Chains A and B, each alone.
Chain A
Amino acid sequence: MKLITAIVKPFKLDDVKDALKAIGIQGMTVSEVRGFGRQGGHSETYRGAEYTIEFVPKVRLELVIEDNDVDNVISAIRTAANTGKIGDGKVWITSVERLIRIRTGEEGRDAI
């Protein structure tokens, strides 16, 4: 099992969710986060004084999937979240040791 973590532009969230549902993904967790990468921040001007806002709003998706879904999920996220402009975000994959469904106690792929 793998944990997929993806950081995407907030306005791309719905597209990414729809693409993942279309390939059979049944659940995910989403949080609003702030950060910066190569895109950097942006500048704002208040009464003539310019401020650099370094942390820009992003959305973080987390989902646990079976090993053989990894390539499909990555390509779905990449296709849906891509604008071609700097700041589209990242996806990374982490191995998951155990996964347990709280209600039933099912483990592993049964809990996905």
Chain B
Amino acid sequence: MTIDSGATAWVLVSAALVLFMTPGLAFFYGGMVRSKNVLGMLMQNIFAMGLITILWAAVGFSLAFGGSGKYFGNFDFFFLKDVANIPALPGYVGDFALIIPPLAFVAYQMMFAIITPALITGATADRMKFSAYCILIGVWAVVVYPTVAHWVFSPNGWLFQKGALDFAGGAVVHINAGAAALAVVLVLGKRRGWPREAMPPHNLPFTVLGTGILWFGWFGFNAGSALAANGLAAQALINTQLAAASGMIAWLIIEKIKAGHATTLGAASGAVAGLVAITPCAGFVGGAAPILIGFITGFVCYLCLTLKTKFGFDDSLDVIAVHLIGGLAGSLLLGLFADKAINGLGADGLFFGGGADLLGKQAIASAATFAFSFIVTYVVAKILDGTIGIRVTPENELIGLDQSQHAETAYQA
């Protein structure tokens, strides 16, 4: 294996960029909750950085990238045993040979494993017991995330071998987390008073700050997924920027038409929707495609905001509308816009002479990810609910998570 110093430097920096997205997400969500729950939200996100780091080193990486199984990894890399000295990670040979040290890959992938379950916190805001949250994401980070990462990211995984494409985690991160969010919300139930009572965001400046951090970190997320410092990384970076911009513009246009004002929360939400959509596509599309992908997804996500009130599930901060729907939109649009001229290891989509073949594979990968994540998460949440309880008491919900779960207050009077 030849180690390329430029590629290594970029992936190391990208790992730091992706890590930074989790506190960014904390502020993005933290601004949207009521002031009595802001520390609860920040804590759930920041704690993912503590817990999942250890779990990833212990077994997560090994279950995602160890062994040559099609469906599951193995325990060969238990506590990162032998990773530093291995000539090549399983499957990463030939066209897929890495030009970075395996430990750089471990660190980079770790940051994805951290932020993915953290995305769930937006759906379960204001009412989940901290103890139940810790167990849920702990189990999730060992059972759900590495399995889906193995299927989709590892060259040995069945969806990878089937030819489904996911450059940086449209399925592995966004559909996966969105499906889990839906499952937990169904077990957890609605916030007391929702939707009758107004629960407006307590600090939108935090949300805008968080959006800036997420957008910045997303360059590491998407362009870092080239695992090299080359033209493909540059393509992924420019695609990321274009989709964020067009997602924002689309959201604001439809919001202005339907609700009367272009809002800061709308600008933030639209940018994130565009970023979610471009995630699977970033290294497989070019030209105007990223602009169209961001634009279409901005519209679609906005229109899906009303699903929760229509079906009565309290997806508090719209994780399903933005991440599940945005992830699905990006994964499926890739089936239309993928272009082999951009990435020879990719495929041609419907609009580039490849027929519906890729679209079908994208649909299978999306459906498999959704089903696995939803079912396992639902079972884990149900078990938690039947044992230690997944939801805070009504009194504690009224007091807020900050005081009831952490004995703290964010803003002293």
Contacts and interface: CB of A to CB of B under 8 A. Distances in A.
Interface of A: 44-53
Contacts of A46: 200-201, 263, 265
A-B interface, 6 closest residue pairs, ranked by CB to CB distance from nearest: A51-B198, A45-B259, A48-B305, A48-B259, A51-B200, A47-B305
Contacts of A44: 200
B348 interface: no
A43 to B, nearest CB: 10
29 contacts: A44-B200, A45-B259, A45-B260, A45-B261, A45-B263, A46-B200, A46-B201, A46-B263, A46-B265, A47-B265, A47-B266, A47-B269, A47-B305, A47-B318, A48-B255, A48-B258, A48-B259, A48-B302, A48-B305, A48-B306, A49-B195, A49-B305, A49-B309, A50-B259, A51-B198, A51-B200, A52-B198, A53-B198, A53-B200
A48 to B, nearest CB: 5
Interface of B: 195, 198, 200-201, 255, 258-261, 263, 265-266, 269, 302, 305-306, 309, 318
Nearest to B268: A47
Nearest to A51: B198
Secondary structure at the B interface, as helix, strand, loop or mixed, is loop
A48 B255 CA distance: 7
A49 B259 CA distance: 8
A51 B195 CA distance: 11
A50 to B, nearest CB: 7
B1 to A, nearest CB: 48
Contacts of A45: 259-261, 263
Nearest to A50: B259
Contacts of B305: 47-49
A45 B201 CA distance: 11
A53 B197 CA distance: 11
Contacts of B306: 48
B320 to A, nearest CB: 12
A45 B266 CA distance: 10
Nearest to A52: B198
Contacts of A47: 265-266, 269, 305, 318
A28 B346 CA distance: 74
Contacts of A53: 198, 200
A50 B195 CA distance: 11
Nearest to B308: A49
Contacts of A48: 255, 258-259, 302, 305-306
Contacts of A49: 195, 305, 309
Contacts of B309: 49
Nearest to B197: A51
A53 B202 CA distance: 13
Chain A CB within 10 Å — which of B195, B198, B201 has the most? Answer: B198
Chain B CB within 10 Å — which of A45, A48, A52, A53 has the most? Answer: A48
A35 to B, nearest CB: 17
